[in-house]
């Protein structure tokens, strides 16, 4: 298997070198840059699997860089913030990052978080036997969730979702009608029990809902079970 590539975007030299070193030691192919413009150029050039992105960059707002990366790439984005409070702000802005860490962070935890992202499905797996491919498509009223191509269709038309949004919907669609707790979704989609991440589930769920509504989906519907979680009901 090809080495998995990570792009580190951080303007503070010591932090950038620290992150580069710990990720390289963990066996990843790491590139590191210090500005938003270099980050976008590098994403276009080398298509990294994960981008570790500092919020405070000298030439650009990290949230805007994140949005642009999102628009052009399928990579996962782990955002680094200067303060824990910024995480709430970012989640509110729904910039579409797949995870957040606030500084100072533990290098070991950073490596663990990136490794989890690299283990998540990145490309559609090669189709297996026809029977298995058949099973991989779930049809619920107007909605189709295709685990093989990682596509979601509403009345046959493909909806453009991020991979995190796809994983959330696939988790709900695998157990229609059942309430999935936010903590369960965190474990299944993000593979973490990280405290405070429940807001991350809510933010991505609200983006997912908005996209499905815009695609004209009326059934099934993602229902919120207040204080508990979500379920998909026809
Ligand atoms: Ca910075």
CA distance 176 to 129: 25
CA distance 110 to 116: 10
Residue 125 forms part of a structural domain? no
> How close is the Cα of 225 to the center of ligand 1, in Å?
38
The pLDDT score that the predictor gives to residue 203 is 85
Mean pLDDT of the chain: 87
- How does DSSP classify residue 146? E
CATH of the domain at 73: 3.40.50.2300
pLDDT digits (tens, 9 = 90+) for 43-70: 999 999 999 999 999 998 888 899 899 8
Q: Which of 85-99, 106-120, 123-137, 198-212 has the lowest mean pLDDT?
A: 123-137
> How close is the Cα of 4 to the center of ligand 1, in Å?
25
> How close is the Cα of 67 to the center of ligand 1, in Å?
17
Same domain, 113 and 169: no
Same domain, 105 and 138: no
Same domain, 11 and 114: yes
Same domain, 73 and 32: yes
Q: Which of 119, 147, 181 is the last residue of a domain?
A: 119
Give the total number of structural domains in the chain.
2
CA-based end-to-end distance of the chain: 41
> How close is the Cα of 50 to the center of ligand 1, in Å?
18
SS3 106: coil
Same domain, 188 and 102: no
The pLDDT score that the predictor gives to residue 199 is 79
pLDDT at residue 125 is higher than 50: no
Please indicate whether residue 72 or residue 133 has the higher confidence score (pLDDT): 72
Q: Which residues surround ligand 1, an ion (CB under 5 A)?
A: 11, 54, 56
Query: For residue 205, what are the domain limits?
Result: 133-233
């Amino acid at each position: 298997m090809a080495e998995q590539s990570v792009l580190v975007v951080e303007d503070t030299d010591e932090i950038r070198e620290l992150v580069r070193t710990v990720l390289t030691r963990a066996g990843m192919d790491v590139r590191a840059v210090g500005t938003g413009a270099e980050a976008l150029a590098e994403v276009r050039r080398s298509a990294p699997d994960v981008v570790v992105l500092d919020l405070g960059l000298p030439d650009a707002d990290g949230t805007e860089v994140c949005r642009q990366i999102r628009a052009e790439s399928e990579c996962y984005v782990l955002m680094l913030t200067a303060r824990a409070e910024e995480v709430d702000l970012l989640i509110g802005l729904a910039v579409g990052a797949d995870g957040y860490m606030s500084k100072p962070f533990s290098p070991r935890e950073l490596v663990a978080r990136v490794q989890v992202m690299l283990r998540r499905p990145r490309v559609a797996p090669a189709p297996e036997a026809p029977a298995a491919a058949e099973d991989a498509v779930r049809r619920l009223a107007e909605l189709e969730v295709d685990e093989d191509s990682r596509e979601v269709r509403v009345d046959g038309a493909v909806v453009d979702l991020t991979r995190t949004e796809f994983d959330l919907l696939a988790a709900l669609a695998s157990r229609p009608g059942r309430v999935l707790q936010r903590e369960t979704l965190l474990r299944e989609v993000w593979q973490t029990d990280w405290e405070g991440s429940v807001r991350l589930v809510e933010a991505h769920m609200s983006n997912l809902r908005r996209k499905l509504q815009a695609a004209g989906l009326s059934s099934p519907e993602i229902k919120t079970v207040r204080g508990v979680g979500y379920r998909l009901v026809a």
